Amino acid sequence: MVPMRSPLALLLYLLVITEGWGREPASPGCHLYPFNVTVRSDRQGTCQGSHVAQACVGHCESSAFPSRYSVLVASGYRHNITSISQCCTISSLRKVKVQLQCGGTRREELEFYTARACQCDMCRLSRY
């Protein structure tokens, strides 16, 4: 089994290949979207396995409007438009296990997280 100590370690162990990102979601809004993931233990593909993971895709409502007078004054009349944006984000995660085949009969198990549920929420740069 490959030990996972941190999210950074997971990035070092994973090389993810996705399929199906070019397709449009079937319905409007923010929802789960399945995609195939091939997980490799290293760049050479010493151990590898596949799994269907979930992503959050779609759109959420956003708007822009003239700023209030108090905002204009506080910003020195530079902030004349106020915008409210929402992004489709993961609201909960699910841990999944992938069985990796390592050559002959040796197998390893790797755990990673995938989306369990999605929601429209305030856009935050740290999420993207």
What's residue 126's pLDDT? 56
pLDDT in tens, 27-52: 568 999 999 998 887 777 788 899 99
Give the domain CATH number at 85.
2.10.90
Say how many domains are in the chain.
1
Residue 128 within a domain: no
Residue the block writes with tokens 């409210």: 84
Which positions ≥6 away from 109 have C-beta within 8 Å? 1, 2, 97, 98, 99, 100
Residue 124 within a domain: no
pTM score above 0.75: no
Query: What's the alpha-carbon Rg for the chain, to the nearest Å?
Result: 21
- Kind of pairing between the strands at 106-122 and 86-102: antiparallel
What's residue 83's pLDDT? 87
Residue 38 within a domain: yes
Token pair recorded at residue 37 = 């993931």
Token pair recorded at residue 35 = 């995609």
φ, ψ (nearest 5 deg) of residue 85: -120, 140
Residue 127 within a domain: no
The 8-class DSSP code of residue 72 comes to H
End-to-end CA distance of the chain: 30
pLDDT tens over the chain, length 128 residues:
444 443 333 333 333 334 444 444 455 689 999 999 988 877 777 888 999 999 999 999 889 999 999 999 999 999 999 988 899 999 999 999 998 888 778 888 888 899 999 999 988 775 54
Dist. CA 28–CA 55, nearest whole Å = 15
